[in-house]
Amino acid sequence: MARAMLEYTKTVLKKVSFDASLFCKEVQKAIQNLLPYELEELKQFILSLVQQNPELNQCLIYLKP
């Protein structure tokens, strides 16, 4: 079940990547809902999306280093 939530979150983030504010809201929701070990994979996924869409860079503040 948890893996399904991570995959669903990735799908949602891809779909909202056209709007930075909406993307940031979805990132915040994902951080609240995912398990700690899933967050590492999500961070890598978000970093790859940011490379493709630099305007999403502002959402990196929600990811802890």
Query: Is it the case that residue 61 has pLDDT exceeding 80?
Result: yes
Rounded-to-integer distance, Cα 40 and Cα 54, Å: 20
pLDDT of residue 3: 83
Q: Range of 53's domain?
A: 2-62
pLDDT of residue 8: 96
pLDDT in tens, 18-54: 999 999 999 999 999 999 899 999 999 999 999 999 9
Query: Is it the case that residue 58 has pLDDT exceeding 90?
Result: yes
Report field, pTM of the whole predicted structure over 0.85: yes
Query: Is it the case that residue 9 has pLDDT exceeding 80?
Result: yes
Domain count, the chain: 1
